[in-house]
Chains A and B, each alone.
Chain A
Amino acid sequence: MSSDPHHSIISGLSSDVLEHTEVKVSKCYQCGKCSAGCPLSEEMDFPPSVIMRMLQTDNPDLEEKVLRSFSIWVCLTCEMCFARCPMSIDIPKMMDYLRERSLKEKKANPKAKEIVAFHKSFLDSIKYTGRLYEIGLFIDYKARTLKILDDLALAPKMLKRGKLNIFPELIKDRSGVAEMFKKSSKKNNT
């Protein structure tokens, strides 16, 4: 960050966002084009442009709401907002950072439990085998969420069509991949 005193006005979460993603929230002039094009906007508690506005205020209460929002988890990183943003603001990159931060501070929205669980199960799966093991992922995910009944009918259909491997594909250099996880999760709470 610049040591120019005029820039120290940017503080709190928006300054962290700037540092980690080069996204300057003050660039947003609230046209709402992102919210208008976002496929998940209607499922969000705060559409993307509102998240931007909340960050612009530098109000700690609103920043807290951002980190605890459902929006950041239901965002699919489809990049539509970024593609159409007149100010070329990389909202998806910012969302990645907000998710990482929310998780680190244990503030993930309770409604996002399944989404977070799925991501974690996914990473766990590849952590041990190097590649995604779909049955393992399902079992792990169900254990995390207790959503035992969901998609129960799917697995046999997939098996029948040869779409599921009974056993995981194991790569040879599993320790190398596991090491990557270890190193990167020292900094992150994953």
Chain B
Amino acid sequence: MTLGFYPGCSLKGSSREYAESVLAVAKAFDVEIEEITDWNCCGATAAHNLNKELSLALPARILSLAEKQGLKEIVVPCAACYSRLTVTKHELSKDPLLKATVIEANGLDYSGSVSILNIIQMLDKYITPNLGGRVVKPFDHKVACYYGCLLVRPHEILKFDREEDPQSMDILMLKTGATPIDWAYKTECCGAGLSVSRTSSVGRLSGKIIEDAKDRGAEAVIVACPMCHSNLDMRRDAINTFLGEKVDIPVLYITQALGLALGIDRKKLGLQRHFVKVTV
């Protein structure tokens, strides 16, 4: 079966290494991936902050396109997009009147039949069961798995992992040969949408995350969200200003770490694109 792929805007721009590593890992396991044609932005934080209807209409269009393309299942590596798509699907299924309004107003063909996987669910379903013997360069490092907000909350809707101290990334990383650490900031917010408009807040919030990872001896932070990545990686100057010291723990997408363990070329995983040099 072909797995649908919704990259979202970040994966086409500032986080293209995430897309590169997702596709590289999928290719290594012959998972057939098909991008949704003519997809649009999910609206992200901006839409649901300012305009409720738009925040549902944009994701609904994406899901509608996937249906039209005959996709039964799509992977959404960006945690923010995953959240928007899943919440939209939930809201529309819960409220038939709202569903009718959104569909009619925007002329969509939408039934809500597409199932949405986040990156961990995709890896757990298609990659890890076949991992045996494929780990050629064990990722032998202490890692802090950072889940952020949108992968696990709101639990009532996403129903993924547990909302405090989640484990799924840790279990996956364990299989790559890494040693996940027990730490306190797995699901604390990185500052997300304030990256540009209030960089100092991001410095503080992401700073606390990096600080805890460092204090507990992590050699890398593993993420599954481009917003988390850009805050923890691209905003490292703001973080270091907040911390008053230079911390150079690299931040890797889980697919990059997995890719390294599988022996995939570093460049194909886009590691050279990071601001904080990937030394692991």
Contact = CB atoms under 8 A, between A and B. Distances in A.
A161 to B, nearest CB: 4
Contacts of A130: 38, 40-41
Interface residues of B, number: 54
A180 interface: yes
A180 B40 CA distance: 12
Interface extent on A, as a size class? 35 or more
A118 B273 CA distance: 25
B199 A123 contact: no
Contact of A180 (B16, B61, B191): B61
A27 interface: no
Contacts of B45: 76-77, 119
Given A43-B201, A188-B51, A78 B192 contact: yes
A85 to B, nearest CB: 11
Interface in A139-190: 141, 145, 150-151, 154, 157-158, 161-165, 169, 171-173, 176-177, 179-181, 183-185, 187-188, 190
A184 B55 CA distance: 9
A80 interface: yes
Contacts of B70: none
A174 B148 CA distance: 32
B166 to A, nearest CB: 12
Q: Give chain A's interface secondary structure class.
A: helix
B12 A165 contact: yes
B41 A131 contact: yes
B14 A115 contact: no
Nearest to A170: B38
B178 interface: no
B153 A180 contact: no
A83 B155 contact: yes
A92 B189 CA distance: 14
Interface of B: 9-10, 12-16, 38-41, 43-54, 57-58, 61, 105-107, 149-150, 153-155, 163-164, 187-189, 191-194, 196-199, 201, 205, 234, 272-275
26 contacts: A74-B194, A78-B192, A79-B150, A79-B153, A80-B187, A90-B154, A100-B50, A118-B196, A119-B50, A119-B193, A123-B50, A123-B54, A126-B40, A132-B10, A132-B41, A158-B234, A163-B273, A169-B12, A173-B38, A177-B61, A179-B106, A180-B58, A180-B61, A185-B54, A187-B53, A188-B52
Interface of A: 39-40, 43, 74, 76-80, 82-83, 90, 92, 96-97, 99-100, 103, 114-115, 117-120, 122-123, 126, 130-132, 134, 138, 141, 145, 150-151, 154, 157-158, 161-165, 169, 171-173, 176-177, 179-181, 183-185, 187-188, 190
